[in-house]
Amino acid sequence: MRNIIIISVFGILLFSCKSKHKIVTKKEPNKTKEVTRPVESKPAVSSTKTYANATEAYIATFSKIAMEEMRKFKIPASITLAQGILESGSGKGRLAVKANNHFGIKCHNWTGKKIYHDDDRSQECFRKYDRANSSFEDHSKFLTTRGRYSKLFDLKQDNYKAWAKGLRAAGYATDRKYPEKLISLIERYKLYEYDDQVLGHSSKNKVTHVINHRVIKGDTLYSLSRVYGVTVDAIKRLNKLENNELKIGQILIIK
């Protein structure tokens, strides 16, 4: 009987020990799927500067080289820029676009590339350049190496009016209004300021003189307004004109 009791107690103890062991199952961590979202692209901010017109854009593009040519060859930057604007149509003319010729310089024994263009005569020969800067450089050499322009270099570099008149007198252009057109461009866009930068002068107190025009055959108030960049009404007001009639030889105040 005693043995039976001992065996029973031993069995109870053994069963209780086994019941304390737990089976542990490992849980795999939840795997979360990564969702890739497209990155929203921000609109690019343009840093390109805009200009009121083609002439202002032209000046911004070529003013530095005009000043550099002035330092090297003593030709006023204002004159170079005004001629470039006038001859190339602010860089939009055919010779400028097709041949990088900004000054209307004809071949004159030129051995480089050429382009043919209607000017005073049909299909005249003009110089063609690989880049616009070469046209500016050649313009400087053209003026400095031809004797007929030598008197220009006796003029002061800040006397753009004398230079404009001297170019016409030396035969650079056949247009009788050529000096007036150059002067008008220089004063309208303050191109003389580039001369002052090279010469170290101040433009703050620079005074522009009154522009006068002597009427020639074919002049009208409208044509003069286009040449000088003013309105017909402004010319009439300055000259106290009651109508649009002009007389040959009449002196008009333009501005």
To the nearest whole percent, how much of the chain has pLDDT over 70? 77
- Tens of pLDDT, residues 34-62: 555 544 444 444 445 678 889 999 999 99
* pLDDT over 80 at 100, yes or no: yes
Q: Give the model's confidence band at 208: pLDDT under 50 very low, under 70 low, under 90 confident, else very high.
A: low
Contacts of 61-70 with CB under 8 Å at 24 or more apart are 61/91, 62/102, 62/132, 62/136, 63/194, 65/133, 65/136, 66/136, 66/194, 67/194, 67/197, 67/198, 69/136, 69/137, 69/139, 69/140, 70/157, 70/194, 70/195, 70/198
Percent of the chain that is helix, strand, coil (3-state, to 5):
50, 5, 45
Least confident of 97-111, 123-137, 241-255: 241-255
CB 193 within 8 A of CB 203: yes
pTM for the model: 0.64
Given the candidates 1.10.530.10, 1.10.3720.10, 3.40.30.10, 1.20.120.1200, the CATH classification of the domain at 54-205 is: 1.10.530.10
Task: Centre a 10 Å sphere on the Cβ of residue 111 and count the other Cβ atoms it contains.
Answer: 7
Q: Give the model's confidence band at 224: pLDDT under 50 very low, under 70 low, under 90 confident, else very high.
A: confident
Going from N- to C-terminal start, the domains of the chain cover 54-205, 210-255
To the nearest whole percent, how much of the chain has pLDDT over 90? 61
Which superfamily does 210-255 belong to?
LysM domain (3.10.350.10)
What mean pLDDT is predicted for residues 188-214? 79
Work out the mean pLDDT of the chain and round it to a whole number. 84
The amino acid occupying position 198 is V
Q: Which pLDDT value is given to residue 31?
A: 52
To which H or E segment does residue 85 belong?
A: helix 77-88
